[in-house]
Amino acid sequence: MTDTPIRLLLADDHPVVRAGLRAVLETEPGLVVAAEAATAEEAVARAALGGIDVVLMDLRFGKGMNGAEATARITARPDAPRVLIVTTYDSDADTLPAIEAGATGYLLKDAPPEDLAAAVRTAATGRGTLAPAVADRLMNRLRAPGTALTRRETEVLALVAEGLSNQAVGARLHLTEGTVKSHLARVYTKLGVDSRTAAVAAATDLGLIRR
């Protein structure tokens, strides 16, 4: 095992969270918190400067770029650091975009400190770590692909859950109202429901959209 420390970038918009992560990780041998970022944009810029092995990335930063978008930009660069998502959100609407964006691992903020440190070390080697809840959900999707929603279907249903009309959903996603209706029809079929309310309830229970 090399003596070279693993240099970390903490990307989270809450100072208390960053301080907590720093306190946990700096007690671990071989881990060094080299930088912090309060926005996704700052994380992308700092990662581009080099000298970072693993970025611990939150998913939501309020205004501006989100964590999945930042992950995609970071991992697209040559010799990019690994990105480990550390968040409170475990729905498909959160996990799938992050993993598609190139995240090496996905951990929840309630993970024990030893799991966090192990996930960082695993990510540094290029191997993946998934929170148990996330891993279970992905396995269930593979076992029952008929109920799996596409990314667009998930986006449509998430906006419906916010109370948006089909027309408003279409405007938000740059789709025609007819296309939105087609997506919802497929969602109803997959979830075995016949209404918007039932679809939202079923998808929430299955963890397909955010609670």
pLDDT in tens, 47-66: 999 999 999 999 989 888 99
- Whether residue 1 has pLDDT greater than 50: no
| Topology adopted by domain 6-140 | Rossmann fold (3.40.50)
Output the pLDDT for position 88: 86
Higher pLDDT, 3 or 26: 26
Residue 174 pLDDT grade (very low, low, confident, very high; cuts 50, 70, 90): very high
Q: Measured at the alpha carbon of residue 199, what is the angle toward residues 197 and 200, in degrees to the nearest 5?
A: 65
pLDDT at 147: 64
- CATH top-level class for 146-205? mainly alpha
| DSSP assignment letter at 34 | E
For residue 75, give the 3-state DSSP assignment. Answer: helix
Strands 129-130 and 105-108: parallel
What ranges do the domains of the chain cover? 6-140, 146-205
Other beta carbons within 10 angstroms of residue 21's beta carbon come to: 23
Amino acid residing at 170: G
Please give the distance of CA 189 from its chain centroid, rounded to a whole number.
Answer: 27
Looking at 40-54, 80-94, 158-172, which range is the least confident one? 80-94
Give the number of other Cβ atoms within 10 Å of residue 14's Cβ.
12
pLDDT, residue 57, reads: 96
Q: Do domains 6-140 and 146-205 have the same CATH topology?
A: no
Alpha carbons 43 and 111: distance in angstroms, whole number: 22
What pLDDT score was predicted for residue 129? 85
Percent of the chain with pLDDT over 90: 57
